[in-house]
Structure 1
Amino acid sequence: MTRSLVFKLSVAFLLVSLVGIALVAFFAGRVSANEFSNFADAQSDSLLMEQLVNYYEINGSWDNLDRIGIGGVGPGNGQVRPFLIVDNQGEIVLGGLDQQIGSRVPRGWLNRGIPIEVDGKQAGQIIFGEGRQRGVPQQPPGNDFASRVNRAIFLAALGATAVSLVIGVVLARSLTRPLQEMTEATQAVAQGNLTQQVPVRSDDELGKLATSFNQMSADLAQSRDLRRQMTADIAHDLRTPLSLILGHAEALSDGVLPPTPETFDVIHDEARRLNRLVEDLRLLSLSEAGELSLVRRPVQPQSLLERAVIAHAPAAQQKQIELVLTAPNDLPDVLVDPDRLAQVLDNLITNALRYTPENGHIHLTAQQNQTAVQLHVQDSGPGMNPAELAHVFDRFYRGDKSRQRHDGGSGLGLAIAKSLVENQDGRIWAESAPGQGATFIVELPLAIG
């Protein structure tokens, strides 16, 4: 399931907040509970000490102390006292901690005893068990309870902030790492290294950005390679007729060749081929730049196909190829420039004639779908494999690598056809299978209204 960057950031911020709240609540709760327990114990000790002082003031001694309830523990209740009381001579006057009244406390216990003072004089000591060794506060036990709790909450918040900071750093690194990789790759592309690729680490917006960058880098590298190949092809196609024209001109000048009509025909044909190549390059450049003038108007599709059949019938008859037209008469009009579309059909039919063998056929059809009219040019030639279909509209591409350039055209016809169709809001593509011929499909927009 795809998770967007907004979702991940929202969850991360929520996680950081929850972790911080949970840590504060946990530590503050633990410390508050402990402090409250200490507060309750201190309050109980203060009350116990007050009861003992009052008892001594009233009775003047510790006699019969075990017969009254002191500190919530009275005689005969079966509970083990958590403390004991000794007089100034170290004799136990209130038993507890497994010690009996009248006996003396073990050596060293008096060192942890808490004096019981009456009118400024020590009247005895209270001794707690080692697990409850405490001091009786000199001020009310609630005075610093709030300060201790506040200090505990502050320390808990400080710890939560540290944990949140660690999580934030990890999150920031996970976000900045792909951005840093993208920045470095972009700088490398800017310096001319078009093969840069960045790792795709997620399927969120950053992952999509990395995928788009990789595609852009690959497209730039492919465009560079195509540009280099196109430059080499243009140089080759221009050099061939120029070499022939210069060679014949020099031969005529030196008297090597006689000035016969055949010699001038060769020079004239090569000059026309050179002019045609230059004109094709100019037309393709204007079309791809969007500067080609188009006069679009409603046109009946059948008339476009009929004109193409009439124009190419002599060439088809010369090669003994059957040129067939099948189109319904009730097709809606399409919004196109008829002259430019005629040029598209000329290129498609010329290409079909070039690859269709003698006694073959070329079938022109038209059909309507919901939003457009499709024109089909189908031949009975050798067809194309998937690799050829992927490049059939590229500049200077020739499916038959063994064919000489002067037999295979300039290699710009289908590229021009594609550019002209797309400039008229249409689409063009090819369908084929080896040995089953090729079909070029031109889809044109309807003339609304």
Structure 2
Amino acid sequence: MRRLQVGFSIRYKFLAVMSLLLAACVCVYLLIAVRVFKSDKTELVFDLNRSQVSNLASELDTQFEGISDKFKLFSLLSDSALQGRTQADWVRELFPKDSDVVFVSLYRRNGQEIVRKFQNQSFGQTYGLSKDYFERTLAKAKPIPFSRILKDGQAIWNASAADGPPLVGFGRSVVIEDHAGVAIDQMAVVGYVKMDKLLKSLSLVKLNHMSVVNRDGEVLASSMAEAATENRLMGSHPLFQAAMSSKTKTSVINLTWQDEKILGAYSKSFGGKLLVLAQANEASAFVAVEQLVERSLIFSLIVMTAAFLAAILLSRSLTRPLAQLVERMNLASQGDLTTQIHLGNKDETAVLAGSFNQMIADLKQSRDALEEINRDLDQKVKDRTQQLEEQNRAVKEAQEALLRTTRLASIGEVAGRAAHEVLNPLTSLMTRLGIMERKMQKELTPQLQVLGDMHSAWDKDYQEGGFDQLVQVWKKPSEIQPQLNLWQEDLGNLQSIQQGIGGQLKTFLQDTEFLKREGTRINKIINSMRKLTVTKSDKTKQSVHHLLSECCAIMGDLFEQKKFSVLCEFTAEQDSVSIDRDEFIQSVTNMMRNSLQAMDELAKDHPEQKFQLRLMTAVVKDEIQIYIEDNGVGVPTQYQSHLFESQFTTKGPEEGTGLGLGISRRFLRANGGDIEFVSSDLGRKTVFRIRVPIVGEKEKGAAA
């Protein structure tokens, strides 16, 4: 029945108007506040970026100017300039233990011969570096740009290897002059500077992302530690391009990179050889604005909710009786005739409630009488139906008994052949069931274990601190994947389990379809065996290659279980035939099973040998020929002429009945083909051939 509906209540109309006015005021306030706050926030971010890049550029200027001067002094150390002190004393004074320079070497112009070198041993011990790390390992991973050093006079490059400490390579050219001031040689001083202090300064920056790059856009140091070790380049970044094209030393800029708005700043250092870049994502910078909007929305919702509650409390005493009446009427319209209305007042609504209760009582009495009549009628119909079913069952049982008696005469002849023909699909069916059982135990059990572990962990956290404790645990970083929290890890596990179960379901459906096909084959084999005296094939147009692939799929589990391989070489250009599909599959699988047993018998004495079954096709005249070749025990000469005789077999009673080849030949001949023994080289190669006529153009039309 149709449910009674109530329109919009009058007591809510005034509240709705007031709520709309309040919401409009809140929206106007939020629009003005967001615009003003965004403008102020942008200027603040620009000032902060400008200050940070300028300060860092000044520090780099001081640091690399000092290092450049020390490198020049290092190149000028000679016996005449030592003034009574050793070279080691001068080197220790130039590069003390706390120096940023951890390795320096003076090279000849060819870049192959080292004149002198210095290495900070304590730095190498701290990072576990080998003695030749800088000269061999690092020089190979990060080649020294000698040509650029000699050409430009100075060069700075990224020297942070993937498994090494964070370093920056610095080299400068030194011209050696004689006493007359004439240049007599040119050398290159190459050194590596540790970036610990610089990286520490960068790590303190939270609002934006800062990078130090050279003129080629190569990242030397970054607030993202992996940027330097992964050899990232910023040559295509618009902030780097703006800095390189600008004539000013320090500036700020608005730009867009990869569909994201960025507030950027840059400062040039060390004569323009170094660039300090800072970029802040506009969306991240304006998080405070979003928080202001969220809090304002929450406040407005609280006010509007309070207004609704006040209106509901004031009008509740007036509308409660009507609401109860509407509710009971809806229940009655849905068939509930046990509902009653009990009001505490004595006004007109009480009279209306009494009339409603009386009406419901009358309706309930009438419905109970009708239900009693219907129950009596249903019982009579059921009794009569049961009598008819018992009579039909007796007739059917008598017919089935008569049919079974008629068929008993032919069971003895059919039983042997049916058992042999059913053996192939039944063996495939049982093998596939075993594989399905092992897959379920191997793949489903770990997934259930993961679900159990997740449930236990969630339940433990919830029991200890409720939902809040559970949420806090979810936010903790994963021990297995530190870049994810536990909630993301659990979601990933659930997704993996979903995908795993999906894959298992797909495989299970494929296996189920395989079992259904094999069951259908068994059913058809049994039905056809009952009529072996009259062979009548259900011929349809089929692809021989497709049928052979189905045979390989059916017998594949048995061959895989024995670790034998099946090689298919389908070279026939035409493979369309008119044949009974199931009889062809039964014939080929019989042959494949014989080959499997022959190879298995030889494998007992030669387990190290590799066994293989080959299926080959070729077109000869107007028929397609299928060759079945194996390297099993073979067929002795004295048995070759008896292969197709009924009940002839060289196997034990548990493996063969002597019916397989004869039935296979009978099936193929009924379809216009034949099966032939070709040759047998004992223990090496045995070949059988199946011939089936190809469907011509006219026959194709008839078959279709």
TM-score after normalising by structure 2:
0.23
- Which one scores higher on RCO, CA 8 angstroms, separation ≥ 6? 1
Which entry has the higher C-alpha Rg, 1 or 2? 1
TM-score, normalised by the number of residues in structure 1: 0.35
- Bigger proportion of residues as strand: 2
| Structure with higher helix content | 2
